[in-house]
Amino acid sequence: MRTQVVIIGGGPSGLLLGQLLHAHGIETVLLERRTRDYVLGRIRAGVLEAGFVGLLEEAGVAGRLHREGFRHAGTQIAFDGGMFHIDFEGLTGTPVVVYGQTEVTRDLYDAREKVGARTEFEVDHVEIHGADGDAPHVTYVQGGREHKIACDFIAGCDGFHGVSRQAIPLGVRREYEKIYPFGWLGILSETPPVHDELIYANSARGFALCSMRNEKLSRYYIQCALSDSPEDWSDTAFWQELKRRVPEEIAEKLVTGPSIEKSIAPLRSFVTEPMRWGRLFLCGDAAHIVPPTGAKGLNTAASDVHYLHTGLRAFYEASEHEGLDRYSEKALARIWKAERFSWWFSSLLHQYPDQSEFDLKMQQADIAFLRDNAAQQKAFAENYVGLPY
């Protein structure tokens, strides 16, 4: 079998890359370790930057997003018993859109199926061969049989635990990592959101976030110990703790109900350099991870897709190599800025086990400066809605 680009990983970054390439006549084969239903069962955030929405429009898959997504012109920061608003549209002219990652993935799978692009599910033992030469190929096992795909390029969109990053020799890649000393306990409930914007809360008891999927489905998070498990928290205990961490006016409005999903996510900042090795290109979580504070994970993957698909288009349409040659440089320049924002915003809102009284005072002063300073709010808004590609 032969194709132009093999995409390893059937999450939103791999699917979006495939759809954008298909729109310009570039053939792909996508390999996914799980089933489609399994991928669509993952619960993930869904705050989309304008740049991501633009890529979905370019790929021809933004119709349902525009019908069902929620346009957010700003966000709320809760602090010291009160709450203040940061006006994205007023400060930058740009909103974000709340639309679940599961729905993005569903739309992309439907679009890929509609155009007949090849997708292989339940593949195992994926191996990358010859990526540092002129004739790369990928082998995998499916249904007990080994398969081989020859290709021009390989896009590694298979996440942090995938094979793509590991295919780059240790002597070539360098990894940077920060592990945070807490996690996020999140629940999904069939209840109306407590507010029409996201609420990020700093409290003496720890961080909290009030978010939503739609007008009848809410997503809430609280900071918890890494040693906790979801079974340690009853629904009642979760709701009681959430109410303690948000302003009283919000706690009084909160509609509670049974959780339909409950999980704990650890927080990590991670970057690997470079994001290209020969004809292998890393994309999304295969190359970098951000803490969920500020919703940059899916959006940083989208920026990678932008740089990679434009580089591949220039190669196939005009025999230009610069876009591919500078892919890692361009992608990482933006990634490190997103990493900085996610790290800073996490530091602003969470309680750390080794914080001194001085550290807490500095954190409180930092939030007060954001509340009171228009220039700081503008910088925050520019980062939140997404830096330009």
How does pLDDT run across 83-124, given as a tens digit for each residue? Answer: 999 999 999 999 999 999 999 999 999 999 999 999 999 999
Indicate the Cα dihedral angle 241, 242, 243, 245, nearest 10°.
90
Do residues 89 and 52 lie in contact, with contact meaning Cβ atoms separated by under 8 Å?
Answer: no
* CATH code for the domain defined by 5-46+100-177+268-345: 3.50.50.60
Count Cβ atoms below 10 Å from residue 362 Cβ, excluding itself: 13
pLDDT score at 112: 98
Identify the CA nearest to 105 among candidates 21, 162, 33, 41.
41
User: What is the rounded average pLDDT of the residues 325-352?
Assistant: 98
User: What is the rounded average pLDDT of the residues 65-93?
Assistant: 97
pLDDT: is 41 or 364 the higher one? Answer: 364
Residue 342 — very low, low, confident or very high, per pLDDT cuts 50/70/90?
A: very high
- Residue-wise pLDDT tens digits, 251-273: 999 999 999 999 999 999 999 99
User: What is the rounded average pLDDT of the residues 21-48?
Assistant: 93
Main-chain phi, psi angles of 218, to 5 degrees: -115, 150
Structure tokens at 342: 């996610």
In this predicted structure, the answer to whether residue 43 has a pLDDT above a threshold of 80 is no
Residue 41 — very low, low, confident or very high, per pLDDT cuts 50/70/90?
A: confident
User: What is the rounded average pLDDT of the residues 345-371?
Assistant: 97
pLDDT score at 46: 87
CA 336 to chain centre: 14
User: What is the rounded average pLDDT of the residues 230-238?
Assistant: 98
Q: Average pLDDT of the chain?
A: 97
User: What is the rounded average pLDDT of the residues 23-47?
Assistant: 92
Residue 42 — very low, low, confident or very high, per pLDDT cuts 50/70/90?
A: confident
- Residue-wise pLDDT tens digits, 175-197: 999 999 999 999 999 999 999 99
How large a percentage of the chain has pLDDT more than 90?
A: 97
The identity of residue 65, as a single letter, is: L
| Lowest-pLDDT range of 137-141, 212-216, 340-344 | 212-216
- Residue-wise pLDDT tens digits, 299-334: 999 999 999 999 999 999 999 999 999 999 999 999
What positions carry a catalytic annotation? 72, 200, 292, 296, 384
- Residue given tokens 């976030």 in the structure block: 209
For the chain, give the longest Cα–Cα distance.
Answer: 63
- Residue given tokens 């993957």 in the structure block: 301
